[in-house]
Amino acid sequence: MISIPDAESGHVYLVGAGPGDPALLTLRAAHLLKTADVVLPDDLVSDEILALASPTALIIPVGKRCGQPRITQAGIHALLLEHASAGSSVVRLKSGDPLIFGRAAEEIAFLREHSIPFAIVPGITAAFAVAAALETPLTDRTRASKLILATAHHAAGKLALTPSWSGASPNEATLVIYMPGRNFETLAQDLIGSGIAPETPCTAVSCASTPEEHIHITTLAELSSPDVGPAPVLLLIGPPISKPEH
């Protein structure tokens, strides 16, 4: 029997909800969800997962769809502060793992600044669900000694508008691209321009781990937007994939 503590009054939990399938939640995530007073989920967190929250929990969606903020990051911080200082236990529920492309750094800094006790609960990141869907290891001792998690999306006003791919060549590496955007041809050209061979295997997986999962296997040169399923999409560049498309 595993004993998992309930969500504590006045505490914030940055919890990973995994890639979509509720069965891929950790036991701790499921228990915190069940016992928290307030849940602040991102857009990618499914209704099935939210249904695991206590029926009395206050659920406030705080997703920022397609970069068009319905709520600002400062607004999320204000909600964390308001509810934790009122003595509620708060689950801040993020898709995948909260520490991978999840703006956790800003929330951690805010919680520290306001002396709000918090804990981080890891989740299964999308890359791992994609690898499972493709039945392909992300590392391989004969051909992929490196695993690179990258994003094609930068914060507005930070760094360049589009990331520089130089140095991202998946020579003996698997390159995983989160938030690839919808212009796959341009992204492929940028990657080829950075020195990645056009014939490098490239797979786009949409909605991994959910009933809507869609896999498109191609090469970088032939990656075409209409063949890629709906968001969320992850691109895997590097290892040859043998699993048939569906």
- Catalytic annotation, residues: 42, 64
Structure tokens at 103: 């703006």
- Out of 136, 174, 209, 218, the only residue in the binding site for ligand SAM (CB under 6 A) is 209
User: Cα(79)–Cα(73) distance, rounded to whole angstroms?
Assistant: 10
Residues 187-206 that bind ligand SAM (CB under 6 A): 205
How far apart CA 97 and CA 147 sit, in angstroms, is: 16
**Taking CA 94 as the corner, what is the angle to CA 90 and CA 95, rounded to the nearest 5 degrees?**
150
Instruction: Identify residue 139 by its one-letter amino acid code.
Output: T
Which among 186, 183, 188 is positioned nearest to 203, based on CA atoms?
Answer: 188
Minimal distance in Å, beta carbon 1 to ligand SAM? 30
- Examine residue 19 and tell whether it contacts ligand SAM (CB under 6 A): yes
Q: Which residue is nearest to ligand SAM (CB)?
A: 96
Segment 124-163, which members bind ligand SAM (CB under 6 A)? 125-126, 129
Residue 2 or 161: which CB sits closer to ligand SAM? 161
The yes or no reply on residue 89 touching ligand SAM (CB under 6 A) is no
How many degrees, rounded to 5, is the angle at CA 11 between CA 77 and CA 5? 145
Query: What is the x/- site pattern for ligand SAM, positions 21-60, by CB under 6 A?
Result: -----------------------x----------------
